Amino acid sequence: MERITYSIVIPAYNESQRIVESLDKILAYIADQRWDAEIIIVNDGSRDNTADIIRRYMRDYPNVRLLENPGNRGKGYSVRHGMMEAKGDIMLLTDADLSAPIYEAPKLFDALSQGADIAIGSRWKDRRSQTVRQPVYRQITGRIFNALLRTILGLPLKDTQCGFKAFTRRAAESVFPPQIVERWGYDAEILFLGKKFKFKIAEVPVEWANDLRSKINPIRDGFSIVWDMVRVRTYSLTGKYDHLEPAKVAPATTHSR
């Protein structure tokens, strides 16, 4: 497989109203930065014309790729699908709404260049970075979720759910193949696996703006995320992850940023 520098993975479900603006911003930015990069949009069984929009971009931009899930499988499945197909030495996950702007990506890449294996964007490491804050009820449920995360999985992180994360190829090829959780709780599982593999995880404050069109329901999906955390802990206690070892990956090609 031909290797490139960056893969940008975007899970998408019914994103026809947001994906055009986001893709235009990403394409303009990577052109300005002269990145050797591909953009992978993973269509999670959208019922609107998201896939048709991506195909139109593919005609003009050979670095844009569309992956189709077998129906609506969930965000976790979509992220795993995109990461498993990515060709980059560094893989960036970003949400379709670009709540964390693409120009914040170098902050995560810098953390990787300084020795981290996984760099996660954080809305709570420095609250001043939030340009548009979540409603109070979302902030409260987020803090409750984080406390449960620390208790159940022992992850000492302030913000695991921010959809802006970067991985070295070795980290991605280690944590995504054994991923079991397919929906909202996948973040907790891949970070738990990262901790199991003794990868260095850096939490990086990034500019972030809440999008009121967010598809996650803090009550319904919050319970689902907590249940997924319990599942991950159960999998760990019953030995489902015991046989896993970090991936062995060929050295990255030398690139200039």
pLDDT beyond 50 at 254? no
Calculate the alpha carbon distances from 98 to 58, 105, 206 in Å: 20, 11, 12
pTM of the model: 0.88
pLDDT on residue 208: 84
CATH of the domain spanning 4-237: 3.90.550.10
> Among 94, 65, 74, 91, which residue's Cα sits nearest to residue 7?
91
- Give the domain ranges of the chain: 4-237
Average pLDDT over residues 34-53: 98
Give the confidence band of 255 by pLDDT, cuts at 50, 70, 90: very low
SS3 content of the chain, % helix, strand, coil (to 5): 40, 20, 40
The 10s digit of each residue's pLDDT in 160-202 is 888 899 999 999 999 999 999 998 889 999 999 999 999 999 9
